[in-house]
Structure 1
Amino acid sequence: MRLPSDPSRLPAIPVLDIGAGGAPALLAAAPERAARLLAMARRRYSAPVLRQADRLCARWLARCESPYAEELHAVAAAVGAPGALALNLSHQWACTSAAAADPDGGVTLLRTLDWEMPGLGADAVVARMTGPAGGILAVTWPGYAGVLTGLAPGRFAVALNQAPVSGPGLRPLRWLADRRAVWRSTAVPPDHLLRQVLETAPDATTALHRLRETPVSVPCILTLAGTDRAEAWTIEKDRTGARIRQEPPIAANHWRQDIPCHPRGRDSLGRWQAMAAAVEAGQRDFAWLRPPIVWSATRLAVEASALGGRLRVVGLDGDRAVTAPLDLTDAPADAEARVSPAPRSAVVSPQ
């Protein structure tokens, strides 16, 4: 695909300064975007279905080990409409990611996020957050408590991919078995673990250890990119434990090697191979955004470099850009950021 030749014709991705306010502050900073996404979810799934899903999510959340449960309930109360808990805990994304070595010795996280729900690309935001270990840039949505794609300038970048349906066996039966296992789990949701690690891990090695060792409620695939080219890993987490991959650190939505599974999304192996070729060719500036990496469900593309604190994001609807590309640099030791091409009005601090 080609990015727009005139980005000024497309809306900017807002950068929202929320400090340590979490999901409630993020919702308060851009409530109209959250309202549009919830309206889209109600059209797609219906209000009664979302209301029942919220009830089930509340029961599950009451016994899981999420550090952000109170934030989720605060968001649901503020929204006052069905779907807030269900969308926060849906884990429906399929993605393609890589940790690619840079000529300067750093590592860049390349990442697309795919979901069949329209509107996610147009209403994405970047949240500038703070935690005990330093600043964080999260590519996210208003009211969302977890992190699926995040950059900790000077420390690491990390992304979450949906794991495949387990195998062998018939896919529908394996899917049901996987859902039952999730319902029984009391472990932390993986996107909540990512946020917690971004907030508290001082470096990529510590992040790797915590991501590898902490049990999660849903199997997942993580891509971690530090500040040194040796700090590039994918982590496959399932119910048997965690597998670390470095050669190459690329992930789609299937297990590597010969582990039986049912891949998620369209052409998971083809996306993995295309990303591997793009990394080998040293492609940057979204030159790697080509089929099959980009397909009808692609909603976001991200490039994140922890060494320089640089984050680039574009919202997509399939192979069509629906936002202007955002180019944001937060120097690791500098709270001031330089933003292009987003206008000054796109940087919002919640009241």
Structure 2
Amino acid sequence: MSNHSLMESVKLIDVSDGAASGHVRQREAEALAVRDACLGWLPLGGLLARLADPIVRGWMKRSGTAYTAEIDSVARTLKKPGIWLLHGAYLFGCTALADDTAQGPRLRRTLDWPFPGLGRLVEVRRHRGAAGEFLNVTWPGFVGVLTAVAPGRFAASINQAPMRRRWRTPVLLWLDYVLNALAGLRSSGRLPPEHLLRHVFETCASFDEAQHLLETAPVARPVLFLLVGTKPGERIVIEREETSARTYRDDTVFANDWRERHPTWRPRACGSGEPVENNIRRRTALAAWSGRDADDFDWVTAPVLNACTRLSVEMCPATGQLTVAGWEADSGSATRVTAISTFQQAVQKTRSSGQ
């Protein structure tokens, strides 16, 4: 028997009968493991958690998000500092592709995070909102949505956008990181992108409705959205700054940079090499992959796969299929640590935005 056959499957958690925070009471040990994995990686993580929690809590309340009470419930259940900080963190890289297949538009993505352990702790939650059910690929205790599919409606994911550069000298790069983080925390009336995406899945009945909201709702910080629907050609990249959007319908593959590069923005990156070249390598490799109708993860290879890769996902809203695997660092890259887990959700017909 191979080691892969002994791997545990990704768990499916049904929270369709209530708030997502309620499941933390049943998944408390796993939620604490997520917290410890993230804070343990950060320098002085415990001290940072105590200092940052009140700041992030205040920002969330000013943002107007509907999910502040859920985060508060998670924090009170876990009784550890850092829950608010982790909901304000934005430290991930990604590579994502949307294309048309025989089954319908499909979204494929990896999520790269430096925190060890997240590959083993990934879970899928079944939610129910006003517009219908959706499957959310996430972690215990996390309230937002980074990757999800609403069968019969759409699928979407978030990539971290590049950060603003105020100085060209590498010596001041650390200050750019600090100022970019503070700029988001000073905003008011603008949603965290991961909360906007959850709101979209809960309330939007169609691809067109989701596109409109993702393009127009003010966001607290720049973000990249990838959105696919159920019909041929329903696949777009949305580049968002706080109050503006650029939408692309062609070449729907990207990493962590704007399509039109600018020297005042620095791409995010996980893996080796300079950020600009790193992003080009990942995007080019995924764009060149030829197995578009395959149902496996053959596309998850270097440089798309790297030491920080924690998650790979395939989603097809036309069929309601979601496939997930967790990854962990091993000898400079990453190896799969969960079974390739497929979830099939019934596809329900929804009204179009023109009706």
Q: TM-score, normalised by structure 2?
A: 0.88
Match of 1:330 in 2: 345
C-alpha contact (below 8 Å) 1:313/1:325 kept by paired residues:
yes
Structure-2 residue corresponding to 1:348: none
- 2:126 and 2:70 map into 1 onto residues whose CA distance is 17
| Counterpart Cα distance in 2 of 1:139 and 1:126 | 5
2:113 maps to: 115
Would the alpha carbon gap of residues 179 and 228 (structure 1) be closer, same or farther in structure 2, given more than 3 Å must change?
A: same
Matches within 5 A, 1:217-232: 217-232=220-235
Give yes or no for the alignment of 1:82 onto 2:97.
no
Once the two structures are superposed, residues 89-120 of structure 1 have per-residue CA deviations (whole angstroms, 9 ceiling, x without a partner) of: 2121111111111123x111101011100111
Contact 1:20 1:131 in 2 (8 A): no
Task: Tell me how far apart the structure 2 counterparts of residues 137 and 29 of structure 1 sit (CA, whole Å).
Answer: 19
User: Is 1:32 equivalent to 2:12 in the alignment?
Assistant: no
Contact 1:23 1:72 in 2 (8 A): no
Aligned residue among 233, 238, 248 for 1:235: 238
For the structure 1 residues 102 and 29, does the alpha-carbon distance in structure 2 shift closer, same or farther, using more than 3 Å as the test? farther
List per-residue Cα deviations over 1:22-74 (Å, max 9, x = no partner). Answer: 33123123222112112223433332221212122112122111110111111
Q: Amino acid of the residue matched to residue 288 of structure 1?
A: W
Distance 1:84 1:204, change over 3 A: same
Answer with 293-302 or 84-93: which moved more. Answer: 84-93
Bigger relative contact order (CA 8 A; separation at least 6)? 1
Q: Say what the alpha-carbon RMSD is for the aligned residues.
A: 1.9
Q: 1:285 aligns with which of 296, 307, 315?
A: 296
Q: Distance in 2 between matches of 1:57 and 1:176?
A: 14
Residue 168 of structure 1: how far off its partner (Å): 6.5
Change beyond 3 A, Cα 1:183–1:35: closer
Deviates more, 1:180-189 or 1:114-123: 180-189
Moved more, 259-268 or 222-231: 259-268
Superposition map of 1:1-351 within 5 A:
7-45=4-42, 46-104=45-103, 106-167=104-165, 169-170=167-168, 171-186=173-188, 187-239=190-242, 241-260=244-263, 261-266=265-270, 267-278=278-289, 284-318=295-329, 319-333=334-348
Moved more, 302-311 or 162-171: 162-171
Contact 2:216 2:243 in 1 (8 A): no
Distance in 2 (alpha carbons) for counterparts of 1:279 and 1:111: 15
Deviation, structure 1 residue 160: 0.3
- Aligned length, in residue pairs: 330
Unaligned segments of structure 2, at least 5 residues: 271-277, 350-355
> Matched residue of 2:318: which SS?
coil
Q: What is the identity, as a one-letter code, of the residue corresponding to 2:164?
A: S
Q: Check whether the contact 2:37–2:118 (CA below 8 A) recurs between aligned residues.
A: no
Q: Contact 2:34–2:140 at 8 Å: present in 1 too?
A: no
- Structure 2 vs 1, CA of residues 41 and 280 (structure 1 numbering), >3 Å: closer, same or farther? closer
Return the letter of the residue paired with 2:347.
Answer: P
The CA distance in 2 between the partners of 1:148 and 1:54, in whole Å, is: 21
1:225-258 CA deviation, whole Å, 9 max, x = no partner? 1101211001110136111012111121011123
Partners of 1:147 and 1:192 within 8 A in 2: yes
TM-score normalized with structure 1 length: 0.89
Letter of the 2:19 partner, please give it. Answer: G
Classify 1:281/1:199 alpha carbon distance in 2 versus 1 (closer, same or farther; 3 Å). closer
Cα offset, 1:218, TM superposition: 1.4
CA distance in 1 between partners of 2:182 and 2:88 (Å): 15
User: Does structure 1 conserve the Cα–Cα contact (< 8 Å) formed by 2:101 and 2:292?
Assistant: no
Residues 22 and 145, structure 1, Cα contact 8 Å, conserved in 2: no
Taking the aligned partners of 1:176 and 1:38, their CA distance within structure 2 comes to 22
Aligned partner of 1:28: which letter?
R
Take 1:197 and 1:222, find their aligned partners in 2: how far apart are those partners?
12
Identity of aligned residues (%): 34
